[in-house]
Amino acid sequence: MGTKLSISNLGKFFGDLQVLRGIDLAVERGEFISVVGPSGCGKTTFLRIVAGLEQASSGQVVLDGRVVRSPGGDRGFVFQTDSLLPWRTVFANAIIGREIAGQVGPAERQRTLELLKLVGLEGFEHYHPRQLSGGMRQRVNLARALAIDPQVLLMDEPFSSLDAQTREIMQTELMRIWEEGRKTVLFVTHQIDEAVFLSDRVLVFARRPGRLRENVSINLTRPRTLAMKRTPEFVRYVDHIWRLIEDDVRASVIEEMV
Amino acid sequence: MSVSTQDAPAEATQAQAVTPILQGARLRYFAGVISVLGGLLFWELVSRVLVANPLFLAAPSQILQAIYSLTKSGEMQGHMAISAVEFALGYVIASVLGIILGFAMAESATAKRALQPWISGLYATPTIALAPLFILWLGIGIWSKVLVVIFLVLFPVTINTEAGLRTTSERLIEMLRSFGASSRQIFFKVSLPSAMPFILAGLKLGIGRGLIGVVVAELFGSRAGLGRLISQSADAFNMPELFAGVVVLAFAGIVMTAGFAWLEAKLVPWTKD
């Protein structure tokens, strides 16, 4: 154990609008951390800064002792939309991160095939994205991020476009895959139950400006099963987090209606 | 490791409902053939019975005969070869140039500013009307026709290439960026492949325009070519030979467009669904 990712006093402005203020966070190696909050709380911006896709206006992100300034192979990003290249096969999509790094030797190819098997896509390597369901495309999205063997996995609402049943399946699948390698994960979602189910810790963000409201440790045993979602403990966590963001969510919903 | 069944690919599980659609599908399949044969029959009857004057109209059977005798004498091949060379030279030059200009315009705002007025202006201008001028400049040989073809093919290719590169999905570019891709890698791995359908569509538009360009330019003045065959036959009131030239051209257009459709299915299959 040790601090994998350390974020200090992180702030971000888009023009005059402050979207993030004073975020401090230390993530342990192998921790699964979710970020929840109402829309407009800057949770996706936060993740994009960690990915290096966006520059912080103040503060810094330090991964394994190095300051993050740009995207890099030590972070794997799983996108909200699958962002698969339609002209590439499942395999060619999954290995693209390695290809960009100029590493497509037999070892990397073998590793990519193993990962596709791990995410449940064995036998579909030569399919094209258009031949796959939404759930399967998100599996490729995940395998693609894992294929670069990142130090940290960054996931931006990866299951939000899936139907409720598929989402539940994907949550358990993600837990199964995560148990295999115990990567450090930052997972952004707007589903409170998803955050509680997956995480060791849930960061609850407040909005205007986006900031850390509470850091909720989830003390549920692992491995987790879908049945746990109906236990009183689980529901207590969900209730607690919901109460933290309720007012903010109402405010943001009213704002969106206007 | 098992795949959860609800995630099975749509295509693999999709059974085709065959029987009730079959008749409709068969009708659709033969609709083209029936329409063409019916049209030819009607044409044959009109020209034999109603018009019955070879100065005004040639029947399909007479046209076929003209094509046969022109081919036998070798005259047709000579005209076709000249027109084909003019078309091919102009088309290839315009395609390469158009793709380069399209790239330049998509990559550089300055290039776009500088080129856009010319492209828009010349695309809308009937440049074919300049053919006599080109003939004055370059003579009645093949190069005046090549220039006409270039002018007609260049702009749709340029415009489509630029549009294709510009519409590259930001999401896909961002995905590559997250892996630390260079701008060169982004260009070759995302922008170029996603612009391919647009570029091919531009090239396809160019076929028809290029063929028209060749023939019209030849009508204005030439020593050989299908346009020359057509104007000679018109001067001699030889309708079967005039139509022979037109039919060969139409056929070339159909074959090349079909070839392109095949190429699209091979190169950019993802645009089909």
Vertex B215 angle, CA B226 and B139, to 5°: 95
How wide is the angle at C-alpha B169 spanned by C-alphas B167 and B171, nearest 5°? Answer: 160
E strand or H helix that includes residue B229: helix B226-235
> How far apart are alpha carbons A84 and A56 in whole angstroms?
27
Instruction: Fold for A3-74+150-257, please state it.
Output: Rossmann fold (3.40.50)
Q: What is the DSSP string of A55-74?
A: --SEEEEEETTEE--S--TT
Residues ≥6 apart with Cβ < 8 Å to A2? A28, A29
Nearest to A27, CA basis, from A217, A172, A209, A181: A217
- For residue B9, pLDDT beyond 80: no
What tens digit of pLDDT does each residue of A129-143 get?
998 988 889 889 988
Between chains, do B2 and A139 touch, taking CB under 8 Å as contact? no
- Percent of chain A scoring above 70 in pLDDT: 99
Q: What is the pLDDT of residue B268?
A: 86
Identify the burial level of B209 via C-beta atoms within 10 angstroms of its C-beta, where 0-12 means exposed, 13-18 middle and 19 or more buried. buried
Q: What value does the mean pLDDT take over residues A109-120? A: 87
Inter-chain touch A77–B178, beta carbons under 8 Å: yes
Distance from CA of B182 to the nearest CA of A (A): 8
What are φ and ψ of residue A234, in 5° steps? -60, -45
pLDDT band at A189 (very low <50, low <70, confident <90, very high): very high
Of B7, B178, B270, the CB nearest to A86: B270
Choose among A86, A97, A120: nearest Cβ to B1: A120
* Sheet hosting strand A75-78, strand order edge to edge: A75-78, A152-156, A184-188, A32-36, A201-206, A211-217
Q: Which residues from A are below 8 Å from B when comparing CB atoms?
A: 51-53, 70-73, 75, 77, 79, 81, 83, 85-87, 96-97, 99-101, 117-118, 120-124, 127-133, 135-136, 139, 148, 165-166, 169, 173
**B170 Cβ under 8 Å from any chain A Cβ:** no
Q: How confident is the model at residue B100 (pLDDT cuts 50, 70, 90)?
A: very high
Mean pLDDT of chain B: 85
Nearest Cα to A89, choosing from A119, A122, A131, A120?
A131
Local confidence band at B14 (pLDDT 50, 70, 90 cut-offs) = very low
Q: Is B10 on the interface with A (CB under 8 A)?
A: yes
Q: Which residue of chain A comes nearest to B6, CA vs CA?
A: A166
Q: What is the pLDDT of residue B23?
A: 65
Q: Does B3 touch chain A (CB under 8 A)?
A: yes
Residues 6+ apart with CB under 8 A from B232: B238, B241
Domain boundaries, chain A: 3-74+150-257
Report CB contact under 8 Å: B172, A120.
no
Spatial neighbors of B95 by CB under 8 A, at least 6 apart, are: B153, B157, B203, B206
Mean pLDDT calculated for residue range A85-112:
90
Q: Is residue B150 left, alpha or beta, with left meaning phi > 0 and alpha meaning psi from -120 to 50?
A: alpha
Lowest mean pLDDT among A129-133, B2-6, B162-166, B228-232: B2-6
**Chain-wide mean pLDDT for chain A?**
87
Do A207 and A38 meet the contact criterion of CB atoms below 8 Å apart? yes
Asked if B148 and B216 count as a contact pair (C-beta separation under 8 A), the reply is yes
The band of B53, judged by pLDDT with boundaries at 50, 70 and 90, is confident
Q: Do B10 and A87 touch (CB under 8 A)?
A: no
Contacts of B268 in chain A (CB under 8 A): 87
Does the structure show a pLDDT above 50 at B240? Answer: yes
User: Which residues from A are below 8 Å from B175, CB to CB?
Assistant: 77, 79, 83
For A156, the enclosing helix (H) or strand (E) is: strand A152-156
Structure tokens at B247: 């039919």
B contact test, residue of A82, A95, A100 with most B CBs within 10 A: A100
Q: Say how far apart CA B173 and CA A95 lie, in whole Å.
A: 16
Among the listed residues B141, B265, B255, B271, the one whose alpha carbon sits nearest the alpha carbon of residue B198: B271
Highest mean pLDDT pick, A217-226, A243-252, B159-168: B159-168
Contact A131 B269 (CB under 8 A): no
Nearest Cβ partner for A148 among B179, B189, B190:
B179
pLDDT at B20: 52
A-chain residue closest to B266, CA distance: A87
The strand pair at A17-28 and A3-14 is best described as antiparallel
Pairwise CB contact (< 8 Å): B177 & A71: yes
Chain A residues with beta carbon closer than 8 angstroms to that of B178: 51-53, 71, 75, 77, 79
Percent of all residues in chain A with a pLDDT value above 90, rounded to a whole number: 23
Nearest chain B alpha carbon to A121: B3
Q: Which residues of B touch A102 (CB under 8 A)?
A: none
- How many Å lie between the alpha carbon of B180 and the closest alpha carbon of chain A? 5
DSSP B187: I
Q: What residue in A sits closest to B182 (Cα-Cα)?
A: A100
**Domain assignments of chain B as residue spans, ordered by start:** 56-272
Q: Which two tokens stand for residue B225?
A: 């070519």
Q: What is the mean pLDDT of residues A212-218?
A: 87
pLDDT of residue B2: 42
Any CB–CB contact under 8 A between B193 and chain A? yes
What is the rounded CA–CA span in Å between residue B251 and residue B238? Answer: 20
What is the CB neighbour count within 10 angstroms for residue A148?
Answer: 26
The region of weakest confidence among B7-21, B68-82, B100-114 is: B7-21
Contact A120 B4 (CB under 8 A): yes
Highest mean pLDDT among A4-18, B47-61, B206-220 belongs to: B206-220
Domain spanning B56-272, CATH architecture:
Orthogonal Bundle (1.10)
Confidence at residue B122, expressed as pLDDT on a 0 to 100 scale: 84
Res B87: pLDDT: 95
| Residues β-bridged to residue A152 | A75, A184
| Order of all β-strands in the sheet with A58-63 | A17-28, A3-14, A58-63, A66-67
Which tens digits make up the pLDDT trace of B111-169?
A: 889 988 988 888 888 888 888 888 889 988 889 999 999 999 999 999 999 999 988 88
Of A41, A13, A36, which Cα lies nearest the Cα of A211? Answer: A41
Record: contact B180-A71, CB cut-off 8 A: yes
Long-range own/partner contacts, residues B243-251 (CB < 8 A, 24 or more apart): B243/B58, B243/B62, B243/B63, B243/B66, B244/B63, B244/B66, B244/B67, B244/B70, B244/B76, B245/B79, B247/B63, B247/B67, B248/B67, B248/B76, B248/B80, B249/B211, B249/B215
Q: How many CB pairs under 8 A join A and B?
A: 93
CB distance A83–B171 less than 8 Å? yes
Q: What is the mean pLDDT of residues A165-174?
A: 86
Confidence of residue A32 (pLDDT cuts 50, 70, 90): very high
User: Do the Cβ atoms of A87 and B177 come within 8 Å?
Assistant: no
Q: What percent of chain B has pLDDT over 90?
A: 44
Length of chain B: 273
